[in-house]
Amino acid sequence: MIIKVRAQSPEEEVNKLLEIIERWPVKVHRSDGIEHILLGLVGDTNSVDPTMILSHDIVEDVVRIAEPYKQANRRFHEQDTVIRIGDMAIGGGDLITIAGPCAVESREQIMTIAGKVKAAGADMLRGGAYKPRTSPYSFQGLGAEGLDLLMEAKAETGLPIVTEIMSVNDVDRFARDVDLIQVGARNMQNFTLLKELGHIRKPVLLKRGQSATIEDLLMSAEYIMDGGNTEVVLCERGLRTFENYSRNTLDLGAVPIIKSRSHLPVIVDPSHGSGKRFMVEPLALAAVAAGAYGIIVEVHNDPERALSDGQQSLYPEQFTTLVKKVKAVQAALSQFR
């Protein structure tokens, strides 16, 4: 950590700062320049709180050298984390496809779709039971009953299930019944929820918030891992930008960045990442070409009647083609590895 202090600061003020720093297990190297006094901190800088340093008026800036995430950091864990769910391995060489409706709407709907995505080659079934909707007047999901239906669909098709958790009070049930527990973009910094998920032993799918940096995302993963639950799958699903033709701006650069900075697997959601059906296929292919370990896409047998997000849901036959194409891209690139 480097502290940039205004040159010619009163020595008395510098000493006040040094006194604070002394409380942490670090050594200080001082170098006086014409424009600044630089203080280099060496040692366990992780315990240092930069805001306590910045609060001194003589300090212009604090530059962190070490990353603030430790357990998610590839630097301290070189090998890829591979998360096994049934006979799949997320983060290994496989390409995982997760598909299903935005929301579970009825037994018939989820059974039909589950059957179709299974036939098309999906590895897991997604479907929302608890739905975070911008408007209180929109369909809010079937709740616990929706989860029951997902479990039926799993029993029928054998597909493991992915669904979103919205309340700390549901953690026990999700830990028991859900194969991959999704934390949605809006709850990425719901730290109360993240801490609870750290105490269970079920894989978590952590979606990146619309205005979260990649570092923020890794810090949220750190909350879960710090509780002892190391099985976190990260998911890029689009940033909020000024471009409003698409619902979000999918940041595919996040894929190579996450892979270089963290050992956790990363997948991509081109459905929420675009918000438009015609964009889902090109962005899913792009995600795989960029190196994502999987994709999660919305599929609906009757999108025109879907109770949410029909506009970004693929028809089953579109999904069937998509699976073939992503496999073709992966096969084309695997020859170079």
Residues 166-185 as x/- pattern, contact with a second copy by CB under 8 A = xxxx----------------
Inter-axis angle of helices 214-226 and 254-261, nearest 10: 40
Segment contacting a second copy by CB under 8 A, of 78-86, 118-126, 144-152, 300-308 = 300-308
Measured from the Cβ of residue 51, the count of other Cβ atoms closer than 10 Å reads 7
Residue span binding a second copy (CB under 8 A) among the ranges 85-93, 117-125, 154-162, 308-316: 308-316
Question: CB-based burial of residue 334 (10 Å sphere; 0-12 exposed, 13-18 middle, 19+ buried)?
Answer: exposed
Give me the least distance between CB of 226 and a second copy, in Å please: 5
Q: Indicate the angle between helix axes 191-198 and 214-226, nearest 10 degrees.
A: 40
Selected from 9, 112, 311, 320, the binder of a second copy by CB under 8 A is: 311
Q: Which is nearer to a second copy, 139 or 177 (CB)?
A: 139
Asked if 54 interacts with a second copy (CB under 8 A), we say yes
3-state secondary structure of 152: helix
User: Which of residues 8, 15, 106, 211 is near a second copy by CB under 8 A?
Assistant: 211
Q: How many residues bind a second copy (CB under 8 A)?
A: 110
Q: Are 286 and 83 in contact (CB under 8 A)?
A: no
- Distance of closest approach, residue 166 Cβ to a second copy, in angstroms: 5
Instruction: Tell the smallest beta-carbon distance from residue 296 to a second copy (Å).
Output: 17
Using rule CB under 8 A, residue 109 touches a second copy = no
Contact at 8 Å (CB) between 215 and 68? yes
Element (H or E) spanning 173, and its range?
helix 171-177
Rule CB under 8 A: choose which of 12, 78, 87, 304 binds a second copy: 304
- CA distances (Å), origin 285, targets 268, 280, 323: 10, 9, 9
Q: Please report, for residues 145, 249, 280, the alpha-carbon distance to residue 3 in angstroms, rounded to integers and kept in the order given.
A: 55, 35, 46
In angstroms, give the least distance from the CB of 162 to a second copy: 19
Pick from 223, 232, 266, 269: which binds a second copy (CB under 8 A)? 223
Tell me which residues in 115-154 interact with a second copy (CB under 8 A). Answer: 132-139
Taking a C-beta distance cutoff of 8 angstroms, is the pair 285, 328 a contact?
no
Binding residue for a second copy, selected from 255, 264, 267, 297, defined by CB under 8 A: 255
Report, in Å, the least distance between residue 106 CB and a second copy.
15
Binding a second copy by CB under 8 A: which of 86, 192, 228, 317? 192
The crossing angle, in degrees rounded to 10, of helices 144-157 and 107-120 is 40
Taking CB under 8 A as the rule, does residue 245 contact a second copy? yes
Least distance from a second copy to the Cβ atom of residue 284, Å? 9
Q: Which is nearer to a second copy, 126 or 247 (CB)?
A: 247
- Which residues are CB-contacts of 24 (< 8 A; sequence separation ≥ 6)? 41, 43, 44, 45, 47, 48
- Tell me the closest approach of the beta carbon of residue 84 to a second copy, in angstroms: 25
Of positions 51, 79, 87, 176, contacts a second copy by CB under 8 A: 51
Positive or negative: CA dihedral 73, 74, 79, 81:
positive
Quick check: 27 binds a second copy (CB under 8 A)? Answer: no
